[in-house]
Each structure stands twice: as C-alpha cells, then as structure tokens.
Structure 1
Amino acid sequence: MHDTDRDLLPEGLGDRLPTQATAAQRVRREALDVMARHGYARVETPMIEFEKSLASRMANVSVRRMFRFVDPLSLRTLALRSDITVQVGRIAATGLSRAPRPLRLCYGGQVVTVKGDGLDPVRERLQLGVELVGTDSVAAAAEIVEVAIEALAAAGATGISVDFTLPDLVDTLSHEALPLAASRVEKVRQMLDSKDAGGLVDVGGQAYLPLLYAVGPFDAAIERLAKFDVGGVLASRIAGLREIAARVGGKARLTLDPSERHGFEYQSWFGFMIYAENVPGSLGRGGTYRILDSEGGEGEAACGFSLYPDKLIDALAADAAPKDRLFLPLGHDADAAARLRAVGWTTVAALGDGDDALALGCTHRLDGGSAVAL
C-alpha cells in the first residue's frame, strides 16, 4: 500500500514559496527597522517554554490555545508559544528588571495555536511587535499607535485605519455609575461585543444601550460617548482618546468602538485594532496592560502592540512584479558579475551546457561585461 499522505501538512499550517517568503522577509525587515529607529531594542525568545511561565505573566492568557507536552528532562509541562508578548513580559520582569524605565523592546517570530480564530483555520502566524514597559500613560499609548502605523506603512500596507476601544469600560461603569450584579457583568460584555441590543436588555444591561451607538468615525463617536458618560467616570479615558487621536489622526483613518472586547484579553484602559486597505481582517492589535509579578500579583504597567502580517504578506506576494534576473553563462566574467550584484542585480549562474536562461526565469544575459535583455 502506498503512503498517499506523507507530504500533507497539518490543518492550519503551510509553506511559504519563494515569492511569499521574499514578501515575508521584506515585511519583517521593514517593520522591525521602524521599531528600532524609534528606540525599541530587539529581543528574541525561545519557541518553547514551561507552560506555567507562559500562562502566569499576563491576566487571562489561556493555556488551552497552546500546544502542550511533557519535557523528558524536567518532567514538567512545556508549551509552544502562542503569544510572544508574554515572553517579553518575562524578560522585562527578570533579565531586564534593573534596566531603566520606560523600557522599549521589540520582537519578531512565529507563534502557534491549537486552533485558528473563528473562521480562520491558520494555526501558525508571524508576530511582530513592541512593548513599552514601565508606563501606560496617554503619551505612551499614543507612541505605540504611531509606531504601529509607521511599521505597517513601511512594510507595504496602504489605507491604514485604527479602531480604538476601552477594554475595561464595563468594569469601570458597573462599579458605581451603572451598577451591575457580578453575575451580569460578563453577560453584558458579551452582548455589547456582539452588538445585540435585544440580548443586552434581556441580561439587564438596558442602561448600556447607548454604547452600541457610540461607534463609527472617531470624531462623531467620541462626542456620543462623552454625552453618555455617567457622572464623568469616563472623562479621563475620553480625554486620553482625544489626545491620542490628535497625535495620529493625520496618519490613518480613526474609528471608535468603545465596548469591543474580542482579542483584548489582558488589556486595561486602552486598546486598538489596526487594518489596511485590500487586506481582509485586522493586521494587529495593541493597548495598555500590566505585567504580573512572580506571585501573580499586579506588577508593572506597560503598553504595546502585536502585528500579524500574514495576510498582508499574501497580498504583497500576489501583486509582486517579476524581478530582473541576470543569466551568467559558462565561463562568464566573474568580476563583472560581482559588480552587477553589488548594484542590485540578481544573478543565476549556468552549471552546465543545458541550462536555459529563459527556463530559469532570467530576463537578461551577461554579455561582454554588460546585462543584455533576452
């Protein structure tokens, strides 16, 4: 019996062929270069860590999203990283605990989850991002939004838009301004998240209905949110959003959805999603959060963002123009070939008499020290 599936890959995993791999390299390089120019120092983290470490540095990180297995050396449970942010939090709290604050770090690498998100079956993704450790101020939040926009633009994204949210909105309102029984808080969050007005009334959250309409283009939505603000409990957050918008408004289209919670498991007062034209779904998210200490208690304030640019990579690869390639015949002038490579040419050297320049995808041929079009 023949093994017919030996070359199949598991669901949600795939190869990148040359055009895609080239686009991925460009996106990674351009985005990380932007982060570095803004003072973010590059760190690298292992693909595998102890499960306990990955699950204990950020609130609400689910180990169920991680591939887990037993380490044959320590006999402890290991996990494949599903989010590099938590690893950077560990670095900040341990190896760089004495480094001056605010601490700026950036990273890039692959992450893997047990299953995809919603209708997206992909289980391995490229994650790029920055973490600004030691503060979650408005100025810090504005900086990370600016860097995220600039990084995506440098990577090739166009028509960038940013959607702001307030992840702790229901917690803030339900404490005093619009009291809710503890058993209803999560239900109200879910109904707001799904934009279900009827469901919101059914779970006792009718006072929160105006939040469903405080969405859309930023200027109009923030005015509706300000009018809704009960007792001024959201005044500082609204002022913060206005300040961030003033700094980044000319660089991207801004919208507001103050009650959006999906994807903001550990963010605190501020969060954002980032999108680009002709790329389906979001390209990343970010916001403010806290890095838990070694005992699981509230530790340092921080903010940052994670970009997941795989769909942008696919779009760039699909639109990539063929690159000129220079065929080097047998016995070619090696010095001339080196000079042409130095000014940007890609060369393909013949290895035998049967090598065909056109079949190898070449557009030019080295002839007498010059590139001649085929």
Structure 2
Amino acid sequence: MTDALNPALLPEGFYDVLPPDAAQEAAVIERMMAVLGGHGFDRVKPPLVEFEDTLLSGVGASMARHTFRLMDPMGSRMLGLRADMTVQVARIARSRLAGAPRPLRLAYAGQVLQVRGTQLRPERQFAQVGAELIGGAQPAADAEAALLAVEALQAVGVDRLALDLTEPTLVPALLGALGVARGVDASGVGGEAGTALRHALDRKDAAAVAQHGGAAAAALGGLLAASGPADAALAALAGIDLPAVTRPILDRLAEVVRLIRVSAPELMVTVDFVEHRGFEYHTGVAFTLFARGARGEVGRGGRYRANGAEGEEATGFTLFMDTVLRAAPPPQPPRRVFLPRGTAPGEGAALRAEGHVTIAGLEPGADPLVEARRLGCGWVLRDGRLDEV
C-alpha cells in the first residue's frame, strides 16, 4: 500500500471525543467525584501503566485477558496498561495506605484500556469513575456502595435506574453442599456437565438447568424462577429446598435489600440469584446498574477481597462513563458571546463570571455580527450591552 493513511483513521474501538462531548464528560465526572467526596471518599490517582505481575496479582488476575502488555524499554520488564482501576486502588490500599484507619474510603476517575470491546460496549478505551470501601465487612457497607453509585448517577441526571443484586457465591455453595453430600467433587457438578450447567444458568435456560443440574436441578430451577423484583424474589425462597450452607448468604442479601429500601424506597431493585458473569472475583453481594433507555449497564460493583483470597474485605463500584453519557441528559449549552477586538478585559471577565462563554475577536476591522455568526456565537457585546445575533 502506497496511499498515505487517513489521519482521522483510528484503531478499532478507539475514538476521538469532540466538542461538546469532551467538555460534557469532564463536567459529569467532576460532579460525580464531588458526590463521592461529599461522602468521605478521598480521591487517588494511580498510574496508567504498572508492572504486569503487580497489576495482575490478587483481584487483578481476573483482568489478565483484557490487559494490554508491553516491554519497558528502561527496565526490560513487562508492563500492563490498566484495564480496570479497582485493582489499582486495592493495591494502593494494601501498600501505600496499609496503615490508614479502616474502613478506608477511596475514589477515582480515569481512562482504562482493554484488549477488545464487547457487543454492548465496542469501545476499548473509556473513562471510569468509582469508589472502594476497604475494611468494612458489614452489610451496611454493601448497601452504602450501591446507594452511593445510585446517588452519583442521579446527580448527573441519570434517573429511572434499576439496581440488580446478585450473590456470586450462592450457586457454588449450593453445588458444593450437594456435591459433598453425594460424594462428588467440590463443584457439585464437574467436567463438561458443569460447563453446560453454567452456560444454562447464564442463558436463564430452565430446561437446560433441569437437564444438567443433577442433584441441584430442583433448587437451581427454583432460584432461577424466583429471580426478579427483590421483595417477591426473597419471599419465594421459602418454597425452595436449599442446603443450610446457603442461609447466611441469603440472609445477608436480604439485609442489604432492607437497608437499600430504607434509604431509597422508590428505587427499582431486582435480585438475580444465579448471575455470575462479570463477577468472577467477587466474594459477596454484587450489583449491576441499568438506566432505562441506555444500552448496557451504567455501572457494577460488589464485595471482594482487596488483595486476593486472604485479603481484607472490601466493596465498591465502577461507573462506565461511555454508557453514563448516553444515559445522561444533553447539557444546556452556555450563552456564547462574541467580543469585538478592543473590548475591555473587565467586560469579558464580568460575562464569564456570570457563566457566559466569550469568544474574543482577533481582527480589529471585522464586522462583529458576521464574525459572531461565523464563530457560532448567539450574542455579541456592543457598547456595553448584549445583542442577540
């Protein structure tokens, strides 16, 4: 190929963010961060690149297949470009802030890079906003994370939200209990049958669950059928024969629902007892947030251990700004005022203090009205007054 590459052409999944979208994203992020800061979450700023073995340790192991890697020319060590900021905040908590009082509340905002997009999110680079509550093991911490995510979204005009709760440890505990009782492996259903069962649960395919569920088929089918609006879902558990090991898991889930109901009685809350996709490193109550009219989730979060299986308890959430911006109302454009060449600096400063955007003219002899129209200004300052163009 001898033709010059089109300078506007970018790799698949990468996009230029143009006016006014770039300004809207920055404003929305700062409003969200103000909400998180108001609840005592202190902002941290981890680097874009870390050593691969550090970035992908602990909870970061689940992000390995999403992570770009490159060789550091200065140290000849493999580096990873962050695909998620949660793992970096967990690292900061267990290292730089190991001696800070718990629970530790940290917030963040920044760009992440992933190897490939998905059908619902084709972007490979996008902004995240999130918060992590590290060192709090109580159900109140789970509820705080979910409610804070809701508040941050509502603060930027994303309403009509739905909060979908799940407990990723429930199905493994159920299968493990029944499997041990029947003398099979700890997964309850192993090998190809286990894979087929997991796919059936992901697809919410009741017939396939009955086919592949073995001794757990009836209980899993009951959980699948019970999933839905939170109050009805929890009430339906009384009719399902579940092993005792699942009771503490479900009791905690019910308590989190109760706490959320107290603070946000109008919020739509649903429960999916069998969902686990995207929650591979979570160890307790987890959630996904959806906004009516937006494609894909606007955020997700939940309980995990901050530095692997033996680490301290943590919970938090991440909001995906590409989806958030699609769900947020469009910004009201500020009044753009053209300032003819020679306008006193104080006049422009006064207009900007009132929230106007000023565009300074550069040509002393140019017609102010013509220049204002050409530069997209709806108003022009003349003789100390604002005239509409």
TM-score tier (shorter): over 0.9
1:91 aligned counterpart, secondary structure: helix
Aligned twin of 1:236: 248
Give the whole-Å Cα distance in 1 for the aligned partners of 2:222 and 2:309. Answer: 35
Contact 2:63 2:84 in 1 (8 A): no
Aligned twin of 1:372: 387
Contact 1:168 1:268 in 2 (8 A): yes
Aligned twin of 2:285: 270
For normalisation by structure 2, the TM-score amounts to 0.90
Give the whole-Å Cα distance in 1 for the aligned partners of 2:142 and 2:238. Answer: 20
- Percent identity over the alignment is 39
Contact 2:140 2:259 in 1 (8 A): no
Contact 1:136 1:289 in 2 (8 A): no
2:62 aligned counterpart, secondary structure: coil
CA shift for structure 1 position 107: 0.4
Aligned twin of 1:43: 44
Distance 1:297 1:314, change over 3 A: closer
* AA in 2 matched with 1:217: P
Give the whole-Å Cα distance in 2 for the aligned partners of 1:59 and 1:177. Answer: 31
2:14 aligned counterpart, secondary structure: coil
Q: Deviations over 1:103-138 (max 9, x none)?
A: 000001011111012453211111110111112320
Aligned twin of 1:211: 223
CA shift for structure 1 position 176: 1.6
Distance 1:128 1:251, change over 3 A: farther
Aligned twin of 1:202: 211
CA shift for structure 1 position 297: 5.0
Q: How many residues align?
A: 370
Give the whole-Å Cα distance in 1 for the aligned partners of 2:70 and 2:34. Answer: 35
Aligned twin of 1:173: 174
Aligned twin of 1:220: 232
1:111 lines up with 2:112 in the alignment: yes
Contact 1:174 1:185 in 2 (8 A): no
Aligned twin of 1:257: 272
For normalisation by structure 1, the TM-score amounts to 0.93
Contact 1:337 1:369 in 2 (8 A): no
Distance 1:131 1:186, change over 3 A: farther
Distance 1:297 1:221, change over 3 A: closer
Q: Deviations over 1:166-221 (max 9, x none)?
A: 11111111222565144355543332122122322332342311121111111111
Contact 1:51 1:63 in 2 (8 A): no
Give the whole-Å Cα distance in 2 for the aligned partners of 1:273 and 1:40. Answer: 21
Aligned twin of 2:14: 13
* AA in 1 matched with 2:9: L
Contact 1:267 1:288 in 2 (8 A): yes
Contact 2:120 2:296 in 1 (8 A): no
Ranges in structure 1 where 5+ consecutive residues have no aligned partner: none
Written as runs of structure 1 = structure 2, the 5 A alignment for 1:4-83 is: 4-58=5-59, 60-83=61-84
Contact 2:60 2:87 in 1 (8 A): no
Contact 2:196 2:212 in 1 (8 A): yes
Give the whole-Å Cα distance in 2 for the aligned partners of 1:371 and 1:72. Answer: 57
CA shift for structure 1 position 59: 6.4
1:3 aligned counterpart, secondary structure: coil
Aligned twin of 2:184: none
Aligned twin of 1:248: 260
2:149 aligned counterpart, secondary structure: helix
Contact 2:291 2:327 in 1 (8 A): no
Written as runs of structure 1 = structure 2, the 5 A alignment for 1:149-164 is: 149-164=150-165
Distance 1:186 1:300, change over 3 A: farther
Give the whole-Å Cα distance in 1 for the aligned partners of 2:371 and 2:60. Answer: 59
Give the whole-Å Cα distance in 2 for the aligned partners of 1:23 and 1:232. Answer: 50
Q: Deviations over 1:268-320 (max 9, x none)?
A: 1211000112211110100000122xxx6511111000110212214547x33
Aligned twin of 2:197: 188
Written as runs of structure 1 = structure 2, the 5 A alignment for 1:277-288 is: 277-288=292-303
